[in-house]
Amino acid sequence: MPTTGPAGEVPARSKRADAQRNQQTLLSAAAAVFVDSGVGAPIREIAARAGVGLGTIYRHFPTRADLVVAVYRHQVEACAEAGPSLLASADSPLAALRQWTDLFVDFLVTKHGLANALQSDSSGFDALHTYFLDRLVPVCGQLLDAAVNAGDIQPGTQAYELMRGIGNLCIGRDSDPRYDPRRLVRLLLQGLQQQPQSS
């Protein structure tokens, strides 16, 4: 429970921490809704998932573009932070890579609606794309290197190349509900695995 000041007020630092947690909860809920229903999902659906009122969302994010950009940044950071955590906790580097690619696919499903949400702001989209590459290519590279060093996958695949391939496999998911990019990504990862040497 937060400590209170002389007049029974909660210190500003505690209020900021609570506001930050609430915003992270809201962004996580919005990300989940965008994955399920696309970036055009009704704001009331996001509010219901987050357990907040519509006014709370509009107070933080006055436009849909503001919300989509915030979700995009939130997911980039979640993917970036997940890489080292998964390497530390998964059964193998290959298992960590598989789990990370699942997070990456969720992120890419959201990213496909970003250009439409930003409409004509191509400079804003370009800046976000650069941010995405700067944050995630090194994390994917770390996962690939660990899997190669463990003998799980064959050497030679570059992080950017793998991420670009996964991105291409995600195209079309929002226009065809029968298409599951995760299944194709699993096949792609199987293709990277070391084959046993024949005697």
pLDDT tens digit sequence for 95-117:
999 999 998 988 887 776 665 56
Query: Which one-letter amino acid corresponds to residue 26?
Result: L
* Residues pairing with 153 in the sheet: 193
Residue 199: per-residue pLDDT: 47
In a domain, residue 71? The reply is: yes
Q: From the centroid of its chain, how far is CA 19?
A: 21
**What CATH number did the domain enclosing 143 receive?**
1.10.357.10
**Residues of the chain where predicted confidence (pLDDT) is lower than 50:** 1-3, 10, 199
Range of 145's domain? 64-192
In a domain, residue 146? The reply is: yes
Mean pLDDT of the chain: 84
In a domain, residue 33? The reply is: no
Give helix 122-149 / helix 64-89 axis angle, nearest 10°: 10
In a domain, residue 12? The reply is: no
